Amino acid sequence: MPQGFVRAFILGSSPINEQDKFVFLLSQEKGFLKAIAPGSLKVKNRFGSLFELFTKGEFSCYWKENKEIITISKGEIIKSYFNTVSNPENIFYFYLISEILLKSLAPNQQDKRVFKLMESILNNRVEGVEINFLLLYFLIWILRIEGMMFNPSICYNCFLKDINKAWVKNNFRGILCEKCKSNEKFTLNTEELNYIKWTEKNPPKNSNIWKNKIDINKMIKLFVKKIESHTESTLKSSRYITELN
């Protein structure tokens, strides 16, 4: 059985039986991983608080041949974000982010950008960046990484460039100019289109410069709907986010 170490964030867990549980990892080296943590449901277990949501840890694992699921033998906390993630102001946002990652990521997808994105979101929240801006930044970037983000500069239908106001197609696959629009629900103005472009080259720590310039609630709702459309699922955690209700 090959053995190794992975550095990862905890995305969640679920019980298998009375003693063991599945743990879902976002690893730096191997992307999304499913793991079994033997004995982790025992009152006295060797893992302690290692499996709290979005804890960053280093895990000793082994792989069974031809099996996608790994087994965690031990681990240690590199950094705990428990106080930040569990804060009542933040918890439902992080539940939603976790749910999106679990529904979007394919197992063993080796793209380090997702790990770096999550690390940036967590560290910037610790530093005081507003959680709604961090959620919006995350939504846009996870769509971009997964190849599902539309081009905010070109009409999907007639290829007109430099649009000042856009109507988002009802299937969320692109934007339309005024001449091509029909009965679309969501619109994006110039500032909102510029914000999407801005995220390509700028870190989330500077997001507050967009305060009062964009309709952040509308944009969060739009991109949550887009993710639901592409993943063909309902994000249950979204019901607890004020911006989505």
Give 30's pLDDT tier (boundaries 50, 70, 90).
Answer: confident
Residues 195 and 138 sit within 8 Å (Cβ to Cβ): no
Closest CA relative to residue 9, chosen from 33, 42, 38? 33
Q: In the chain, where does the domain assigned CATH 2.40.50.140 lie?
A: 3-80
Q: Which residue has the tokens 């003693």?
A: 19
Give the per-residue pLDDT at 117: 97
Residues 2 and 73 sit within 8 Å (Cβ to Cβ): no
Residue 187's contacts (CB-CB under 8 Å, 6 or more residues apart) are: 165, 166, 167, 168
174 pLDDT higher than 90: yes
> DSSP letter string over the chain?
--EEEEEEEEEEEEESSSS-EEEEEEETTTEEEEEEETTTTSSS-TTTTTTSTT-EEEEEEEE-TT-S-EEEEEEEEEE--HHHHTSTTTHHHHHHHHHHHHHHPPBT---HHHHHHHHHHHHHHHTT--HHHHHHHHHHHHHHHTT-PPPTTBBTTT--BS-SSEEE-TTSS-EE-TTT--S-S-EE-HHHHHHHHHTTTS-GGGGGGGTTTS-HHHHHHHHHHHHHHHHTS--GGGGG-GGG-
Give 5's pLDDT tier (boundaries 50, 70, 90).
Answer: confident
Give 43's pLDDT tier (boundaries 50, 70, 90).
Answer: low
Give 177's pLDDT tier (boundaries 50, 70, 90).
Answer: very high
Give the per-residue pLDDT at 38: 81
Tens of pLDDT along 109-122? Answer: 778 899 999 999 99
Architecture field, domain 85-244: Up-down Bundle (1.20)
Residue type, 8: A
Give 66's pLDDT tier (boundaries 50, 70, 90).
Answer: low
What percent of the chain clears pLDDT 90, i.e. is strictly above it? 74
Please count the residues of the chain. Answer: 245
Q: Cα–Cα–Cα angle for 147, 150, 153, nearest 5°?
A: 135
Q: What is the CATH number of domain 3-80?
A: 2.40.50.140
* CB-neighbour burial class of residue 219 (10 A; exposed 0-12, middle 13-18, buried 19+): buried
Q: In the chain, where does the domain assigned CATH 1.20.1440.120 lie?
A: 85-244
2 pLDDT higher than 60: no
Average pLDDT over residues 181-188: 96
Residues 115 and 78 sit within 8 Å (Cβ to Cβ): no
| Rounded Cα gap, residues 162 and 63, in angstroms | 50
Tens of pLDDT along 47-58? Answer: 778 889 999 999
Which range has the worst mean pLDDT, 2-6, 191-195, 232-236, 237-241?
Answer: 2-6
